[in-house]
Amino acid sequence: MKVGIVGSGQVGATAAYAMVMSGVGREIVMVDVSRERAQAQADDIAHAVPFSNPLDIHAGDYADLAGSRAIVIAAGVGRQPGETRVQLLQRNAAIFRQMVPQVLAHAADAVLVIATNPVDVMTHLTARFAAEIGVPSTRIIGTGTTLDTARFRALLADRVGVDAHHVHGYVVGEHGDSQVLTWSLVTVGGVHIDEFCALRGITMDEPTKVDIDARVRFAGRAIIAGKGATFYGIGSALARIVDVILHDQRAIMTVCTPLPEVAGVHDVTVSLPHLVGGDGILASLPVSLDETETIALQASAHGVREAIESLNM
């Protein structure tokens, strides 16, 4: 099974490394505006193959993406000093306008997995560009709040002393400061977290929830302040999403994809629980949020919609 990665920077390369370590796929093609960088990343990761899983990884061009079942898009530029968010969006939108048609010209049947930030807006634009050549939005998936949901579950698991695999709860909305932690839906082993904590004598009061919320919401900001970028978490999230696609695992994930309406906001891309499989988005699942969470989701969706409109595209 073949996977393409467009953009061989820290995120793209870490995603490739995570796939090699986990044995995701059988062939990885790395494409970058700098062929030299793509080659260097592929060579470096290839040297880890003897210690992990049999997998062919190499650099290539757009034409080499042919036959890929999933393609990770991690290309784009970062914000420059003094640059506004809209200016950054405009620059990345121009890059995607050129890149997406070239990718799909050679891999028209692939599912595209978008990692470039702001991921909600870039996923929305990718779906728009893909639609112009007849590719449905269900095959355009953004990483969305997949990583935020993992952070939320990990912190909850640590607090209640239970393996994170048995803690369920979602982060929805924007992958950013307006994201919504769905406390009303959190369960541990099928028991609502408040009830579980009462049974176990664990404190889960409002100050504790506020602390966990802040550590999830601003995790990326804290990591960037300490080391300049985040890539291990998102690289692992990308490897997981690609694995789900390649093996049609039909997993429920908080990825983002264009939706006709979210909390009263029309034509917007934010994260909600989606059923993901070999064909991309198989279904969008409704969530029963409480009133406060619903208002917060609406505000989050409004913010993303405004960013989309700011591009005048």
Residues 6 or more apart whose CB falls under 8 angstroms from that of 170 comprise: 145, 149, 152, 182, 185, 254, 273, 287
The amino acid sitting at 19 is: M
Contact 304, 122 (CB under 8 A): no
Strands (E), the chain: 2-6, 27-31, 56-59, 70-73, 111-114, 140-142, 167-168, 171-172, 180-181, 187-188, 191-192, 251-253, 256-262, 265-271, 274-277, 280-284
Our CA angle for 183, 184, 187, nearest 5°, is: 80
- Is 47 a known active-site residue? no
Token pair listed for 297: 């989701």
**Residue pointed to by tokens 């990665």:** 5
Strands 167-168 and 187-188: antiparallel
The answer to whether 73 touches 103, Cβ cutoff 8 Å, is yes
Phi, psi of 39 (to 5 degrees): -65, -45
Task: Check 47, 166, 175, 302 and give the catalytic one.
Answer: 175
First to last CA, the chain: 36
**Gap between the Cα atoms of 249 and 229, Å rounded:** 30
Enter the tokens of residue 190. Answer: 């099928």
The phi, psi pair for 22, rounded to 5°, reads: -95, -5
Active site residues: 175
